[in-house]
């Protein structure tokens, strides 16, 4: 899959709530080639601080536009949020492998998407592309205010259940416990679980997929210095040895991973 480095114009930049921002970029070559689970690598400043690019998932594609959805957590995301409509962003993409779907039988089965925190970012794009199937989305966050994309998932035709650590909305507990409940009660037996979120959540999802003999595809994060497979910085242990999250990932089959 070919990668492109381009200067993408910001078409819109909106604060959704709190520290969460939504941004659309004009990036025809990336939009055309992007698959759910892939990401772009952004240079937010032409100074040396911050120095490295920052990876952000592709949140959606609409015509020649790509969407990103990000949380301001530090230097680079803060600078990004200060950028205005019309400004240009130096981006590289579409990077990584993306979720495997569509070419398999699972396409017409039921799917379950498990998102923890910002994990909604790539899964929203996946939900749009999976549209033809029945999709159950589980969204987890610490508290009600941090639940993300609920309406977007609904609009995309998904069934949505939520979990909050503090019980301020939906199931009280971790989203992985909600998944467990769902699987136990056999309410919903998916063919594949697609998950993105904190490492511990992904581990729990992997364990459950194993227990229930389900396929699971997990989107991982590692600190990335290049995003294009050159630095070997972003490796994760798999049964087949170390793999680069930016290149062989960020999506890995749960059964491949050696936690």
Ligand X SMILES: Cc1cc2nc3c(=O)[nH]c(=O)nc-3n(C[C@H](O)[C@H](O)[C@H](O)COP(=O)(O)OP(=O)(O)OC[C@H]3O[C@@H](n4cnc5c(N)ncnc54)[C@H](O)[C@@H]3O)c2cc1C
Ligand Y SMILES: Cc1cc2nc3c(=O)[nH]c(=O)nc-3n(C[C@H](O)[C@H](O)[C@H](O)COP(=O)(O)O)c2cc1C
Which residues would be at the binding site for ligand Y (CB under 6 A)? 231, 233
Nearer to ligand Y, 11 or 231 (CB): 231
Q: Please give the Cα distance from 12 to 24 (Å, whole number).
A: 5
Per CB under 8 A, 73 contacts another protein: no
Binding mask 72-111 for a copy of itself (x = CB under 8 A): ---x------------------------------------
**Dist. CA 208–CA 219, nearest whole Å:** 16
Tokens representing residue 69 in the block: 């959805």
List CB contacts of 241: < 8 A, sequence separation 6 or more: none
Residues 50-79 that bind a copy of itself (CB under 8 A): 50, 75
Range list of β-strands (E), 50-109:
54-57, 60-62, 65-71, 88-95
170 or 227, CB closer to ligand FES?
A: 227
Rounded to the nearest whole angstrom, what is the least distance from the CB of residue 45 to ligand X in the complex? 10
Choose the stretch contacting ligand FES; rule: CB under 6 A; options: 2-10, 21-29, 196-204, 226-234. Answer: 226-234
Cis peptide before 50 (omega within 30 of 0): yes
Using CB under 8 A as the binding rule, whether residue 236 contacts another protein is answered as yes
Residue with tokens 């793999």: 243
Q: How far is 93 from 227, CA to CA, in rounded Å?
A: 9
Q: Which of 28, 50, 157, 173 binds another protein (CB under 8 A)?
A: 50
Cβ pair 175, 201 in contact under 8 A: yes
Under 8 Å between Cβ of 147 and 169: yes
Q: By CB under 8 A, which span of 42-50, 111-119, 154-162, 215-223 interacts with a copy of itself?
A: 42-50
Q: Which two tokens stand for residue 246?
A: 């930016």
Residue closer to a copy of itself (CB basis): 28 or 50: 50
Residue 55 interacting entry, from ligand X, ligand FES, a copy of itself, none, C-beta within 5 to 8 Å by type: ligand X
Whether residue 238 contacts residue 256, with contact meaning beta carbons closer than 8 Å, is answered with yes
- How far apart are the C-alpha atoms of 95 and 229, rounded to whole Å? 10
Site for a copy of itself contains 154 (CB under 8 A): no
CB of 2 to ligand FES, least distance (A): 17
- If one asks whether residue 54 binds ligand FES (CB under 6 A), the answer comes out as no
Q: To which H or E segment does residue 15 belong? A: strand 4-17
Which listed residue (127, 224, 226, 254) binds ligand X by CB under 6 A? 224
Binding site for ligand X (CB under 6 A): 39, 50, 54-57, 69-71, 73-77, 118, 121, 221, 223-224, 250
């Amino acid at each position: 899959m070919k990668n492109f480095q381009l200067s993408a114009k910001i078409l819109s930049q909106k604060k959704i709530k709190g520290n969460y921002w939504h941004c659309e970029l004009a990036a025809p070559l990336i939009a055309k080639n992007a698959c759910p689970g892939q990401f772009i690598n952004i240079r937010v400043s032409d100074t040396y601080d911050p120095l490295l690019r920052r990876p952000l998932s592709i949140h959606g594609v609409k015509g020649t536009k790509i969407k990103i959805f990000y949380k301001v957590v530090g230097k680079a995301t803060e600078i990004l949020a200060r950028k205005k409509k019309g400004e240009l962003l130096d981006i590289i993409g579409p990077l990584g492998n993306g979720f495997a779907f569509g070419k398999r039988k699972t396409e017409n089965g039921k799917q379950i998407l498990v998102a923890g925190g910002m994990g909604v970012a790539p899964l929203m794009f996946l939900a749009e592309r999976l549209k033809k199937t029945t999709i159950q989305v589980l969204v987890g966050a610490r508290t009600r205010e941090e639940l993300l994309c609920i309406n977007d998932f609904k609009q995309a035709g998904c069934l949505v259940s939520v979990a909050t650590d503090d019980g301020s909305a939906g199931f009280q507990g971790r989203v992985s416990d909600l998944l467990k409940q769902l699987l136990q009660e056999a309410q919903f037996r998916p063919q594949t679980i697609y998950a993105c979120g904190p490492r511990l959540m992904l581990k729990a999802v992997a364990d459950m997929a194993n227990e229930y003999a389900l396929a699971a595809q997990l989107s991982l994060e590692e600190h990335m210095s290049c995003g294009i497979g050159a630095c070997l910085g972003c490796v994760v242990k798999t049964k087949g040895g170390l793999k680069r999250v930016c290149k062989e990932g960020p999506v890995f089959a749960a059964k491949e991973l050696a936690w």
